[in-house]
Every structure is written in C-alpha cells, then in structure tokens.
Amino acid sequence: MTFHYHDGHLYAEQVPLEQIASDHGTPTFVYSRSSIETAWDCLDDAFSLRPHQICYAVKANSNLAVLDVLARRGAGFDIVSGGELARVLEAGGDPVRVIFSGVGKQVWEIDQALGAGIGCFNVESRSELDKLADRAGALGTTAPISIRVNPDVDPGTHPYISTGLKENKFGVNAEEALALYRLAADHPALSVIGLDCHIGSQISDIQPFEDALLRLLPLVDQLQREQIPLTHLDLGGGLGVTYQNEAVLDPVAYAAMVDKHLGKRALTIMLEPGRSLVADAGILLTRVVTLKENVGRHFAVTDAAMNDLIRPALYQAWQSVLPVRESTPSERARFDVVGPICETGDFLAKDRELSLVESDLLSIGSSGAYGFVMSSNYNSRPRAAEILVDRDQVIVVRERESLSDLWRGESTLPS
C-alpha cells in the first residue's frame, strides 16, 4: 500500500505524513516511488504480448527524480518542449527512446533534439515537416518521423483535454497525413518510421481508443502498399485514473483490443501515458490555516492554493481530501477547502464532510499528475517542496522555493 492509514495516521509507504510536514513544512507534494513503479509494471506487463515501448509523457510530472525512477524501469519519454528534453537528459533518460510531440516546435528545439539523436519526431503539420527537413539537411543528419493523425473521435472527456476532434489544433487528418508521408518518403533528410495519434486525456472507456485505432489502420495498410512501411504505431496517452468514482481503463483489456485489431501487422506499439503512471503516486500535503463560517457555509483555508494545484479551479476537477489524522465522525461538518488567493475560483475541494480544527493536516489525493508542473508563483507564493518517499526513506527532490527565489532574474530600475 502506498498511501494508507495505520493506527489512524496517514502514511506514504512507511513514513507518516505528519513527520514529513513537521520536518519539511507544507504545502508539499509527496510522491511514492513504489506507486510509480507499480503503475509502470502494470501497463508494461499488459502489453508484453507485443513488441512495445512506453514513452512517459513528461508534462504530467517532470521532476528529475520521477524521470529517474521511470528511466530505471526502461521508460522512453514523450516530450513537448526543449525544456522537457533537457530534463530527460539531465535525469539520465535515453535519447533514443525520446519522442517529440507538439504543434509548435521551434527551430532551437528541433536542433537540440536532432543533436541529441532522439528516436522520433511526431510531426503535426506540413510547415513542421518542411522545417524539420531543412534543419536535418542543414545539420547533415536525418530526422526520424511519424505523422500525428487526428482521427476525429470524441474521447468523452473535459473539452480542454480533448485533442482528437477534427476542430482541435492537433495533428492532421488522414488524407493530409498520406500526402505528408509521400513527401517525407521522398525526402533524403527524413526517415518515415511511425504513425502517431493522441486523442485526449482522462479517458475512462476503451471505445474511443478502439475508434481511433480503426481509423488509423487503413492508413497504415495504404502506406504499406505504397512501400512506405512503418515500424511503429503510437496510440498516445490519455488513460484515465479514478479521482472520485470514474471507471479505470483496464490495461489488459486495452492491450487485448489493440492486439486483436493489429493482427499480423508487425508494428511496435508505442504508448504515451502521463497521468495514469503518476497521478495516484502523489498527494498534496497541506495545513489548515484558518476555519471560518460565512452565512452557514464552512470554509477551511489551507496553506495550499490554486497556484499549487490548479486542477480543481481550471477543470472543476474533484480530488479526494483526507485528514492526515483520522477524525471522529461525530464532529463532522461540510467544508469548502480553499486557498488564501484573492480569487473566488481558488478552491481545492467543495462541500466535503470533514472534522477539522485549525492546524490540522490534509492530504489532497491523486496530485502526482498535473499538480506541481502546473503550479505558479501567483500572489508571490513560493512554490511547494516535492518529496519522494522510497519505503522508509524521505528524499527532498525539489526544495521549497525561498522568498528571494520569487524575484530571481528580476531587477529594479538602473539608478
């Protein structure tokens, strides 16, 4: 068990969260190494029936220690910026297993990735294909590519994280993809190796993945007929997790579905999961600063806020709130758990039954993905510390920012 109660106290692996709070302060993101590893193994094992490579989507949680844990497991990495590539290399990730996604790759990022010798560029437009060919030619190398196809399926998720509909900015449609493949196949500085899609995030049903796959396979076969054989098919990320009561997608059923439709095609399956590998491996540990009541509504004001964890404010996301010390049911009330930021949208949770006194500790669940990485310094709040727990070991994997970090690189006017 990664996060669990023992004698009424909440633990991360073998470490009481109260100890982390008293040694390192709050707000703090706490990650469990074994939880990341278990999620990785589960998905990796499910796809073991076929050649496959899982490329962790770095944007979900890009802490060097998290990347290190996954790199040691044999992970590849799906990056969307030069900054993410630099992190992967710094953490010891293998550049050959890096794939580069994103609609707006800049020349410096393309050059950096070509220089590092990454495994594949997921190309999202004609303009990008031309730019990539130019840069690879100029640098005397060839760029391995796949085209990101937008299969026009509705993943049934929040509109902000739905990316596979034809009106989205991502990828190209299947006809345009075929034209781009023909161009790329004839270009000496490009090497066609794969086909890519990514339809959205927090998907709890296999059907959209199946729809997407069935729209991609005719293109795979067409390319084969045109002597443009592919070596891999990248199905993207997007596997959902349970925040409240969502069904989770069974990786074994997912793998079986893919296996069935691929049939005899000799393609390596690539996946780009982010959230499903790290969401449940992290919590946000926060302390109640103030309790107050306004016209019958109870507020627990915590030292964590929307700048630390923006998902509730941005996507109206629901995340669990657990007391770090189990409370007696008799003294409960319904609380809105809010931060101190000057925005009514600054909440972590609404209408939760809790028993609280000031200075109590709370654990906001499933904060390992799209938590710290989306944090900011809004209201001049130093960003939270990040801690990785490995059995009984507590490793500070990012120090809490200091006040002077807040203006690093800034200056007042010259005198």
Binding residues for pyridoxal 5'-phosphate: 238, 272-275, 370
Of residues 37 and 78, the one with the C-beta less far from ligand PLP = 78
State how far the Cα of 150 lies from the Cα of 156, in Å rounded to an integer: 15
- Residue 194 interacting with ligand PLP (CB under 6 A): no
Q: Which stretch binds ligand PLP (CB under 6 A): 64-72, 172-180, 232-240, 334-342?
A: 232-240
Using only C-alpha atoms, the chain has a radius of gyration, in whole angstroms, of 23
Instruction: State in angstroms the smallest separation of the CB of 110 from ligand PLP.
Output: 17
Instruction: State in angstroms the smallest separation of the CB of 35 from ligand PLP.
Output: 16
- Residue 208 interacting with ligand PLP (CB under 6 A): no
What's the token pair of residue 196? 């890519």
Contacts (CB under 6 A) with ligand PLP, residues 74-93: 78, 80
State how far the Cα of 35 lies from the Cα of 14, in Å rounded to an integer: 13
In the chain, the largest separation of any two C-alpha atoms, in whole Å, equals 73
- For strands 385-390 and 393-398, give the pairing: antiparallel
Could you give the residue numbers annotated as active site?
342
Of residues 164 and 323, the one with the C-beta less far from ligand PLP = 164
What angle do the packed helices 207-225 and 251-262 form, to 10 degrees? 30
Binding site members: 238, 272-275, 311, 315, 343, 370
Number of residues that bind ligand PLP (CB under 6 A): 17
- Residue 68 interacting with ligand PLP (CB under 6 A): no
Q: Identity (one letter) of the amino acid at 111?
A: D
Of residues 97 and 275, the one with the C-beta less far from ligand PLP = 275
Instruction: State in angstroms the smallest separation of the CB of 156 from ligand PLP.
Output: 13
Site string for ligand PLP, 290-329 (x = CB under 6 A): ----------------------------------------
Alpha helix positions (H), 75-125: 82-90, 107-116
Of residues 26 and 63, the one with the C-beta less far from ligand PLP = 63
Residue where the block lists tokens 């490329």: 55
Residue 120 in contact with residue 147, Cβ under 8 Å?
Answer: no
State how far the Cα of 344 lies from the Cα of 354, in Å rounded to an integer: 21
Q: Which stretch binds ligand PLP (CB under 6 A): 268-276, 293-301, 322-330, 381-389?
A: 268-276
State how far the Cα of 134 lies from the Cα of 139, in Å rounded to an integer: 9
Q: Identity (one letter) of the amino acid at 79?
A: I
Of residues 101 and 363, the one with the C-beta less far from ligand PLP = 101
Binding site members for substrate: 275, 311, 315, 343, 370
Site string for ligand PLP, 19-58 (x = CB under 6 A): --------------------------------------x-
Q: Identity (one letter) of the amino acid at 84?
A: E
Return the beta strands (E) in 1-51 as ranges: 3-6, 9-12, 15-16, 28-32
Distance of CA 236 to the CA centre of its chain: 12
- Residue 201 interacting with ligand PLP (CB under 6 A): yes
Residue 285 in contact with residue 324, Cβ under 8 Å?
Answer: yes
Of residues 362 and 369, the one with the C-beta less far from ligand PLP = 369
State how far the Cα of 328 lies from the Cα of 306, in Å rounded to an integer: 29
Alpha helix positions (H), 309-377: 311-315
Instruction: State in angstroms the smallest separation of the CB of 45 from ligand PLP.
Output: 18
- Residue 274 interacting with ligand PLP (CB under 6 A): yes
Instruction: State in angstroms the smallest separation of the CB of 370 from ligand PLP.
Output: 7
Of residues 209 and 335, the one with the C-beta less far from ligand PLP = 209
State how far the Cα of 229 lies from the Cα of 247, in Å rounded to an integer: 37
What's the token pair of residue 202? 């927090």
Contacts (CB under 6 A) with ligand PLP, residues 123-182: none
Instruction: State in angstroms the smallest separation of the CB of 278 from ligand PLP.
Output: 8
Cβ neighbourhood burial of 369 (10 Å; 0-12, 13-18, 19+): buried
Site string for ligand PLP, 99-128 (x = CB under 6 A): --x---------------------------
Concatenating the DSSP letter of every residue in 198-229 gives --BSSB--SHHHHHHHHHHHHHHHHHHHTT--
Select the residue interacting with ligand PLP from 27, 171, 238, 251 (CB under 6 A).
238
The residues that touch ligand PLP, with contacts defined as CB under 6 A, are 57, 59-60, 78, 80, 101, 198, 201, 236-239, 272-276
